[in-house]
């Protein structure tokens, strides 16, 4: 894109990107589509609550570091605010994602390789 070899037509997020403010969303183009890509740090099922809390605290501390935030934001990531970075909020997000896309994945026969 920076070399002028491709032209971004739209982005699939809920709102325009701070990195590409002149590129409209797909929704602005008339299609009711928005995709959110989210990254999580997950632990195996059955991980003790104390370890989950410790890992969550350490990840939150890293995301609170100005240099880490700046680096992630330079890639176009939206770094969560502390209220969004809780074990409960991550579970809620994953449950919501499953509710939204689980049926679609099953109906389309999508399988992980």
CA dihedral (84, 85, 86, 88) in degrees, to 10, reads 50
Q: What is the pLDDT of residue 67?
A: 95
pTM across the whole model = 0.65
Digit-coded pLDDT (tens) for 19-74:
889 999 999 999 888 887 788 889 999 999 999 999 999 999 999 899 999 998 88
Give me the pLDDT at residue 76, please.
76
Model confidence over 91-102: pLDDT tens digits?
Answer: 998 898 888 888
């Amino acid at each position: 894109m920076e070399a002028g070899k491709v032209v971004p037509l739209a982005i699939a997020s809920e709102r325009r990107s701070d990195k590409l403010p002149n590129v409209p969303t797909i929704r602005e183009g008339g299609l009711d589509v928005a995709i959110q890509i989210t990254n999580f740090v997950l632990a195996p099922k059955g991980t003790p609550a104390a370890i989950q809390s410790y890992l969550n605290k350490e990840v939150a501390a890293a995301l609170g570091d100005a240099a880490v935030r700046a680096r992630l934001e330079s890639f176009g990531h939206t770094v969560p605010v502390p209220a969004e970075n809780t074990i409960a909020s991550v579970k809620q997000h994953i449950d919501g994602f499953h509710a939204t896309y689980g049926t679609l994945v099953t109906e389309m026969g999508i399988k992980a390789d």
